[in-house]
Amino acid sequence: MDRVDSGTFSIVFSISPLVGVHIRHRGGVRVSRKSWSYLLGVLCLVTVFATAASATTFLNIATGSTGGTYYPVGAGMAKIWNDTVEGIQASAQSTGGTVNNIQLMSEKESEMGFMDGLYYFAYTGQGRYEGNAQKYIRALVPLYPEPIQLMVAKGSGIKSVADMKGKRVSIGAVASGTEVSARQLLHLAGLDPDKDIKAENLGVGDTGSAFGDKRIDAAIMVGALGMAGVVEPSTLGLVEFIDVSDDLVAAVMAETPYWVPFTIPAGTYNGQDKDVKTYASWNIVGIREEIDEETVYQMTKALFDKHDDLVAVNSKMASMVAENVKYILIPLHPGAERYYKEVGAIQ
């Protein structure tokens, strides 16, 4: 017979099944074999539930504002994974956008995040990330190109970025990729965002309504064509779209290699009767490197297997095809890389 003492209780283990196991309290109270069997049953159930919980991968997906494209698409991805990938419990979180998403991932508050081209500087440790490279980021999927879209109030007289001097300009939510890109564009146009304009840090949805309330004169927005915050004021006939000059596009590309020239086709928005010249970057979904390879493979496969479901959420997701992985500028997660090799998108 073996005996283990621990404070108040003594546990007596008997090899003989006739003797069984008893718990003797030093005050003389004895727990019967029946009670002990009950306790063992409870412990077994606890163990089963604990094992099941440990086998579940919880994924918090940092997206963007509810009026943009990231959030509904992120929610659509979460549903696909929850429905089709065993052991996944995913949820989409509304955030301030790319910068906020990278911060949440760095703090391990989110396992995944939607990102515009700023992800390249984050990974390589350039710009605002100098000395603080975010090397844990791996790419999961390419999404769609996100152009800079310049809207001005109809009749404002604003014909160029330089004309925004002294005007009320929405430059995106605080800590968003839009704000970073807007500040860069204004700076290259010779304007100090903190002195030469009246900057308004508005998200996508708030920017659209601000034109209706006449609270802003212009907006520098980054996002997929057809996003709600642009469609709303254009449908109401409140705004016009202006070009980014060739010189400014070249200057931006010289500083940030993830941008490429882009044209917003005529007729994309109500009242837009000519092509609009601008520039765009391909955005991605990033994921932390330590997420299990097999899990990420299954997640990647599920997104492409259920691609039509994402297109139903937002038509811009038609651009999410495996071949567009070539636009990604940082390493793929090994699980995603395995999928792209399997379908012949990469060697």
Q: What is the DSSP string of 193-259?
A: TTTTSEEE---HHHHHHHHHTT--SEEEEES-TT-HHHHHHHHTT-EEE-PPPHHHHHHHHHH-TT-
Is residue 242 situated within a structural domain? yes
Residue pLDDT, tens place only, 153-197 = 999 999 999 999 999 999 999 888 899 999 999 999 999 999 999
Domain shared by 276 and 186, yes or no = yes
Domain shared by 311 and 182, yes or no = no
Domain shared by 251 and 163, yes or no = yes
Is residue 347 situated within a structural domain? no
What average pLDDT does range 221-239 have in this prediction? 92
Domain shared by 17 and 103, yes or no = no
Is residue 262 situated within a structural domain? yes
Is 239's pLDDT higher than 90?
yes
Is 220's pLDDT higher than 60?
yes
CATH number of the domain encompassing residue 291: 3.40.190.10
pLDDT of residue 66: 87
Mean pLDDT score across all residues of the chain: 88
Domain shared by 153 and 238, yes or no = yes
* Beta pairing, strands 239-241 & 137-153: antiparallel
Q: Domain count of the chain?
A: 3
Is residue 14 situated within a structural domain? yes
pLDDT of residue 100: 95
Domain that holds residue 110: 57-144+283-342
pLDDT of residue 67: 77
Is residue 244 situated within a structural domain? yes
Domain shared by 261 and 297, yes or no = no
